[in-house]
Structures are given as C-alpha cells and as structure tokens.
C-alpha cells in the first residue's frame, strides 16, 4: 500500500492505483478467510476430558420461562436458570432475615476445584439483598452472567457458592449456600 502511494507521488498513477487496489483486495480476502476459519476452530479445550463425577449429586439449570413463577421454595436456597444461550445464566436467591449487602456467586469446576470466570461472575452475579423479616424472600438477578470456560455441549460438574458481602465494611464476606450443578461454557 505504501509503495502504491509512493508511485502515485512519483506520477506513476496507473501502477500506484493498481498496487493499492490489489493490496486492499488481498487483505480483504485474507481477513475473510481467517475470520471464516476461526468460526469453526474449537479453541476452548477446557471441558474436554472432564467427566461428571457419579458419586456427587448434581442439579441441572432450569430453562428460564413462565415456569419460573411456579417454583415453590420453603428454605434458604438458590435456583440456577439457563438463559438466552448455553453458558449464559441467571439465578434467583431465596433468603431469610439478612442485613443489607450484596450476594454474589463463586463457581468452581468440581474435579479440579478451579474457579471459573472469577472476576466476571463476581461482578455480573451481584444482587442487592436485605430482608428484615423472618419470612423467606426471593431476590432475582436482573442481568445475566457468563461462564466462559468450555463450549456449548461440553457439560461438566460445578460447585456453585452463594457469598454475601455486608454493607458494613467491618464484617467479612461469608458463604451462604453451596450446590452442585452440571453446566457448560459459552462458545465465543
């Protein structure tokens, strides 16, 4: 491209324009080829070879639909929902009396105890909570969060922990609930 501009400056217009156009066409073809090829390249090998342990009880995320309002929970708990695409999730949290603060998730691959998408999930899974009564109250995640490790259809076991960060800075974060789910990552 630079050589084409130099030729134009030296008043060799035809060769300069042809060189610029041919360089642009070659760049476009190369870019298109690699873009197309990378769409089909399975570059996330995280979940390959991972097996779901048979000696651990797992739940599966529920499809997020109209059934959500029919769920009947009678104890402190959370429910994970499949959302929009595989690897993208939402959750509802059910809590008894709790001071003002933020609940968030920590998710681990269960066989290696490896934390998944740590910063992203901590930030995107936050729910502001406060329940001054002894009645069980439902808190809903308004947005969604993504698990990036793995690809669509590569299911693996996870341990999901609900943590609570009180607004009172003198109190430490504490774990509220732990459950095991079979999950999959989002295909980038």
pLDDT tens digits for 144-181? 999 999 888 899 999 999 999 999 999 999 999 999 99
Q: Are residues 149 and 99 in the same domain?
A: yes
Q: Are residues 69 and 120 in the same domain?
A: yes
Per-residue burial over 45-58, b if 16 or more Cβ lie within 10 Å, else e, is: ebbeebeeeeeeeb
pLDDT tens for each residue of 77-112:
999 999 889 999 999 999 999 999 999 999 999 999
Q: Is position 70 within any domain?
A: yes
pTM equals 0.75
- Does a structural domain hold residue 54? no
Structural domains of the chain, count: 2
Residues 136 and 97 in one domain: yes
Domain co-membership, 67 together with 121: yes
Range of the domain at 9: 2-39
C-alpha distances in Å from residue 109, one per residue of 34, 77, 162: 32, 20, 15
Residue 49 lies in a domain: no
User: Do 128 and 170 have their domain in common?
Assistant: yes
Among the listed residues 44, 42, 40, the one whose alpha carbon sits nearest the alpha carbon of residue 148 = 44
């Amino acid at each position: 491209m630079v050589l084409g501009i130099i030729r134009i400056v030296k008043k060799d217009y035809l060769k300069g324009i042809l060189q610029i156009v041919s360089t642009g066409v070659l760049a476009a073809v190369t870019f298109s080829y690699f873009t197309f090829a990378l769409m089909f390249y399975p570059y996330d090998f995280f979940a390959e070879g991972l097996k779901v342990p048979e000696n651990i009880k797992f739940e599966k995320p529920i499809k997020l639909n109209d059934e959500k309002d029919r769920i009947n929970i009678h104890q402190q708990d959370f429910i994970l929902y499949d959302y929009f695409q595989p690897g993208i999730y939402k959750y509802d949290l059910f809590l008894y009396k709790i001071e003002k603060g933020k609940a968030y998730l920590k998710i681990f691959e269960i066989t290696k105890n490896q934390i998944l998408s740590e910063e992203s999930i901590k930030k995107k899974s936050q729910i502001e909570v406060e329940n001054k009564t002894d009645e069980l109250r439902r808190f809903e995640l308004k947005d969604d969060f993504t698990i990036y490790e793995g690809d669509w259809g590569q299911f693996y076991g996870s341990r999901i922990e609900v943590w609570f960060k009180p607004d009172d800075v003198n109190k430490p974060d504490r774990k509220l609930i732990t459950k095991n789910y079979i999950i999959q990552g989002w295909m980038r």
